[in-house]
Amino acid sequence: MTIDEEIAKLDENIRRLKIEYEAYFNGGMPRPPHETAFRVENAIKKYGDGSKLSYGQRFKFNQLVQRYAVNNDLWRKRLKDKEEGRGRFRAQRREEEAVVAAGGPVRVVCADPDNEKDKVERLFKAVVEAKRQVGERVDNIDPAAFARLVSEKTRQIRKSLGCAKVQFSVAVEDGKFKFKAVKID
């Protein structure tokens, strides 16, 4: 691949990254687009010194790097707001906290967690909020590992108990975090 083609690919990846972040912030994707960001950052590092580039290529490359830097700063701020439940993400966070804080368990029924990402995401948020409420650490919970756990538990319960669906519940009872999985017919 020539340098011009790689610069065009970088431009396309930055555009794609912008679209993927918008989809993530609007709830269309379960997690941030780390893979695309990794590809963009690798391309920027590859040509960062500018020694392999002609004047025109360097000009185009610097424009792309600048556009990425501006957008990356914006995405970082929005990601922080989402994680902390501020700004436009506040209402969504309050709604999740209210369910768990009310003492009522959050219940999610899954048949195939690999294809029901929204349910797994809702369950994950309930687990994080319940753990926060009882004072447990939440910074060490990996969303991907949690999704694998839910998927494995669902398969295991469906196979051993011969049911079609599994109900997961998250609650705070007597100041303790409870996470349960039971069969449902």
Q: Is the CB of residue 47 less than 8 Å from the CB of residue 61?
A: yes
Q: What per-residue confidence (pLDDT) applies to 64?
A: 95
Q: Which residue has the higher pLDDT, 61 or 79?
A: 61
Q: What per-residue confidence (pLDDT) applies to 10?
A: 95
Encoded tokens for 19: 């679209």
Tens of pLDDT, residues 42-65: 999 998 887 888 999 999 999 999
> What's the DSSP call for residue 158?
H
Question: Whole-model pTM?
Answer: 0.51
Percent of the chain residues past pLDDT 70, beyond the cut: 90
Rg (the chain; Cα; Å): 22
Percent of the chain residues past pLDDT 90, beyond the cut: 30
Closest CA to 105 of 23, 30, 179: 179
DSSP string, 20-54: HHHHHHTTSSSS--HHHHHHHHHHHHHTTT-TT--
Indicate whether 101 pLDDT > 90. Answer: no
Q: Which residue has the higher pLDDT, 87 or 44?
A: 44
- The CA distance from 147 to 70, in Å, is 32
- Tokens 């994707």 locate to 29
> At 17, is the pLDDT very low, low, confident or very high (cuts 50, 70, 90)?
very high
- Tokens 């051993």 locate to 160
